[in-house]
Amino acid sequence: MKNENGQVLVLFIIILPVLLLGGACLVDSSYMLYQKNRLDNINNDVLNSLKNQDDVSLEEVQRLIKLNDESIINDNLVVDQNITIENHLLIESIFGKIIGIKNYRVESKKSVKRKDVERLVLDVNHLSDYDNTNNYLIQNNGVIYDNGLIFDEASLLIDDVTLDDSYRIEVAFSYDGDGQLLEFNNLLVKIMNDKLFVNDREIYSLTSNKLYTLEISNKTIYLNESSFANSIDIDNKRGALLIGSDFKGIIKYIKIYSIGN
66 Cα distance to chain centroid:
25
pLDDT at 142: 41
Q: How far apart are CA 124 and CA 146, in angstroms?
A: 13
Report all structural domains of the chain as residue ranges with CATH numbers, in order of start: 2-115 (no CATH), 118-260 (2.60.120.200)
Res. 38: pLDDT tops 90: yes
DSSP-derived secondary structure for 109-154: EEEEEPPPEEEEEEEE--GGG--S-TTEEEETT-EEETTEEEEEEE
Q: What pLDDT score does 32 carry?
A: 85
Q: What is the pLDDT of residue 43?
A: 94
Residue range 174-192: average pLDDT? 85
Average pLDDT score over the chain: 76
Q: Distance between CA atoms of 38 and 60, rounded to whole angstroms?
A: 20
> Which DSSP letter does residue 7 get?
H
Residues 195-212 have pLDDT tens digits of: 999 888 888 888 888 888
Predicted TM-score of the model (pTM) = 0.53
- Count CA within 13 A, CB hemisphere, residue 121: 18
Structure-model confidence comparison of residues 157 and 173, the more confident one: 173
